[in-house]
Structure 1
Amino acid sequence: MRKPKVLSLLLAAVLLLGCTGCTPVLNSAATLSQTQSQPEESVSEEAQPQSDVLLYQDDLRGVWISYIELESMMQDHNQQDFSYYTRVVLNNAKAQGINTVFVQVRSHGDAIYPSAYYPWSKYVTGTAGQAADYDPLEIFIQQAHELGLSFHAWVNPYRLMSQNDFATVDASYLTKQWLGNTQYMRYNDTDGYYYLDPNNEEALDLICNGIAELVQNYNVDGIHFDDYFYSIPPEQYGYDAATAHAATDRLVQRVYQTVKSINPAVQFGVSPGGNYYDAPASDTTQYTNIVTWCTQPGYLDYIAPQIYWEFDHEQAPFLDVFNKWVSLTSGTNVKLYVGLATYKFATTETLLIQENLCVNHPNCGGFIHFRYENLCGKIR
């Protein structure tokens, strides 16, 4: 009985802040950053880094497009059908007011594009490691930019394939050479995937080489990590929490440096779990160092906490958690974007209020919906 009244009052307050309607509205113009990049060495002799970056930094209205959506888009395993469904997905997203897409280009130590460091994703051709005769990433970026959408390449840095998928991967790839070697990776019995050891320097080099390849060879506007850092506890790798924290610091710092060394205009951000008590909960569960990353230079351009709760949630009421993240990032150079639980609230007043709080608050740069199919419906 109280909940509808509270939501109505919150909505009224947001409307007074200047909301003009229920559907988010795109910026009239994107913030176009132009920076000439001068990398010390090229990843590809043919490709040259792109200097024009399309960003909506102060009014970001984004959506995550995961490997689950990509699997549906790619199930026919040919360029014509993928191009068609890419256009459908992007047009649908834009119709919902989206101006930025976060596309999972590496979900399991693989790639949806030709890579010197990672085998082809099984979602592209149906078999892990089997090359496609087209480049899905190039198509996705081109079509996104044609529609005025910013494109962020979403990478899971540590998660690898299952044992079965590794069977079809060529031995020229480092992850195949490292398979079963606990110096480099561990197997997770819970989900059936291998994970790189975050404290292994060769693994870190591989991750950074893969990021450099993306920024060097493709006109991406951003590089994006989600909340998976330690899916396997550090003690199973043989070290303590302090070592794990240091490893995530090195990862984030080196990826940031890698991105900026090639194109300083390209953004790098992380989307941790949104729980926030006296400190961000992911510092305990995933061995992040969120306060350092948000307040010290050289780590992040933005943070996108996944605040996936109701306004009246007992342990983590949305507004309380939101305000903690606002307080952390206010006065810093790190933008705040809020991950929203569209999978829970897609057709509710709750989601509308949360969207408008994000876009109207002076110290929040926007929001990201999890995920595309929850916002726009099934692709097929």
Structure 2
Amino acid sequence: MNYSFARATTILFLILSLFITSCATKKPAAKTTKKPPVTTKPTPPKTIVQKPEAKLNLPQVDREFRAAWIATVANINWPSKNNLTTQQQKDEAIKILDLLKEANFNAVIFQARPSADALYTSDLEPWSYFLTGEIGKAPTPFYDPLEFWIKEAHERGMELHVWLNPYRAHHTTGGPITSESMVKKMPEQIIKLRNGMYWMDPSDEKTQDHTAKVIRDLVKRYDVDAIHIDDYFYPYKEYNGGKDFPDNRTWAAYQKTGGNLSRADWRRANVNKFIKRIHDEIKAEKSYVQFGISPFGIWKPGFPEGIKGSSQYDELYADAKLWLNQGWLDYFSPQLYWKNDGPQSFPALLKWWESENTQKRHLWPGLNTVGLRDVSDRPGEIVSQINATRSILKNSAGTIHYSVDGLSKSPAMYNAVKSAYKTKALIPTTPWIKVPALGKPILFAENVGNLVNLKWNSPEPQKAFQWILYIKYGENWETEILDKNQNSKTLPLTKDGKKLSTVAVKSVDRLGNESEYEAKKF
């Protein structure tokens, strides 16, 4: 019995050992079928985009003020008639703006208040007869013409300057006077002249207060770049049949207060006070809005020597030299509507005004593009005057063309001016107007095959008015001035056998100030 038990125990031990050994032995790997390799198209090497290490020496872009007057009085330029539909008015406006943009203009001077009336929504003065054919009648379907012009000009990279006449109350082409007219609403301040026009008395405090209120209202409510007034202060004498301006009421009131100025000096003092007031009130409302004046081109005969003609100082009671000397404006545009030689020499007058520009304000003369007289080649003369401003005014050159009809109705003139403005230009900077610096743009670059897609924006999009794009192939820089809504571009990595090496971008504010650049190197 014991022998059998021992034998059984031995057999059990051997079986258990074999089982443990078999569990410890590795199983052979399962056979797998080898799959063929997946074939894919090779990925092109990506362009490495990085920031340049050294500061870039970017080229300067052209700077020049290039503007045209858009006259609405008597339907001279726009709208062409006072019975157009809203859509027809808009179409005409866009046609004018596109014409100017194509010729590389960068500003329009739009007459929004031709004669104590409004081509915009106003609680102070009535809708203009020149807009709808009836004083006080709004356009139908309703729109705000000034707002429309501002929007369309800005979208094309052009400034919009609001042009107004400070004292003219009714034009002879302005239709019948109705109860809506300011002639009826300010009867004591408004005087009828012998040619049929009505004029506000510049020496009346209520005239000055009313016009100042109109200008403050425009600056406050509209996104304008400048307020612009022209040469109509006291009226030209022929408007009143050669007779003196009939301001006996206010002159007598002045004398009663013990005033001791001569009548001429008193008139000039009233205009001077008004000019300074308008300048100061514009700046108080929006410091960046510019104030421009376009007076008659001759201050007095004999200034400079040899100049003949009318005297704005003695006839219009406008001491424009004083305003320029004092810097009560941001730009000064004397109407130099004469040819280069003769008794009203364009370059002689421009040089004289430049010598009086002691405060170094912008000096951008007005050119008579529509009706320059006594020249055989009007387009050639205008181009020579553009070139004269560039020579005399250097880095702050500029011109304003009177009027846009001189361009739109004369292909020869348009092509000549377009050739003179062959590349786009920024407006000259205005360093005496202090504004916060623009933030550096944000630039994105993405390589797609043989192209690179660029996109950029500003950390302060409401302040960016334009862009400057700098592109470098090999060692050559190219520059582009782009409108605000043009914030992307696709470039080839190779052009004319040269590789794209660097791209940079700057933002530009509405005063022409440039931001610091942002750049990418390829």
Q: Same fold (TM over 0.5)?
A: yes
Measured after TM superposition, the shift of residue 168 of structure 1 is: 2.9
| Separation of aligned partners in 2, 1:162 and 1:368 | 24
| Separation of aligned partners in 1, 2:281 and 2:236 | 26
2:334 corresponds, among 301, 305, 322, to 305
Aligned pair count? 316
| Separation of aligned partners in 2, 1:153 and 1:316 | 29
Structure-to-structure mapping, 1:145-184, within 5 angstroms: 145-161=154-170, 165=175, 167-170=177-180, 175-179=183-187, 181=188, 184=189
| Separation of aligned partners in 1, 2:129 and 2:401 | 25
Considering fraction of residues, name the structure with more helix: 1
Tell me if structure 2 keeps the 8 A contact 1:198–1:204: yes
Measured after TM superposition, the shift of residue 75 of structure 1 is: 3.8
2:352 corresponds, among 324, 327, 332, to 324
1:259 corresponds, among 272, 275, 282, to 282
Secondary structure of 2:206's counterpart equals helix
Q: Indicate the residue corresponding to 2:320 in structure 1.
A: 290
Secondary structure of 1:62's counterpart equals strand
Considering fraction of residues, name the structure with more strand: 2
Secondary structure of 2:371's counterpart equals helix
Alignment CA distance shift 1:235-1:72 (3 Å)? closer
Aligned AA for 2:399?
F
Aligned AA for 1:118?
E
- RMSD value, Cα: 2.4
Structure-to-structure mapping, 1:85-234, within 5 angstroms: 85-132=92-139, 133-161=142-170, 165=175, 167-170=177-180, 175-179=183-187, 181=188, 184-190=189-195, 192-231=196-235
Secondary structure of 1:264's counterpart equals coil
Q: Indicate the residue corresponding to 2:18 in structure 1.
A: none
Aligned AA for 1:300?
L
Measured after TM superposition, the shift of residue 116 of structure 1 is: 1.2
Secondary structure of 1:104's counterpart equals strand
Aligned AA for 1:267?
Q
1:63 corresponds, among 65, 68, 83, to 68
Q: Select the structure with the greater relative contact order (CA < 8 A; seq sep ≥ 6).
A: 1
Structure-to-structure mapping, 1:10-49, within 5 angstroms: none
Aligned AA for 2:185?
Q
Alignment CA distance shift 1:127-1:86 (3 Å)? same
TM-score w.r.t. structure 1 length? 0.77
Q: Which runs of 5+ in 2 are unaligned?
A: 1-59, 238-243, 252-262, 305-310, 411-522
| Separation of aligned partners in 1, 2:295 and 2:160 | 20
TM-score w.r.t. structure 2 length? 0.57
| Separation of aligned partners in 2, 1:370 and 1:310 | 14
Aligned AA for 2:197?
Y
Tell me if structure 1 keeps the 8 A contact 2:170–2:183: no
Larger Rg, first or second structure (1 or 2): 2
| Separation of aligned partners in 1, 2:321 and 2:82 | 41
Tell me if structure 1 keeps the 8 A contact 2:66–2:106: yes
| Separation of aligned partners in 2, 1:194 and 1:166 | 12
1:366 corresponds, among 386, 392, 398, to 398
Q: Which runs of 5+ in 1 are unaligned?
A: 1-26, 30-57
- Deviations along 1:124-169, one digit per CA (max 9) or x if unpaired, are 2111111222111110110000000111000001001258846334
| Separation of aligned partners in 2, 1:69 and 1:138 | 20
| Separation of aligned partners in 1, 2:86 and 2:61 | 32
Q: Percent identity?
A: 30
Q: Indicate the residue corresponding to 2:366 in structure 1.
A: 339
Aligned AA for 2:193?
N
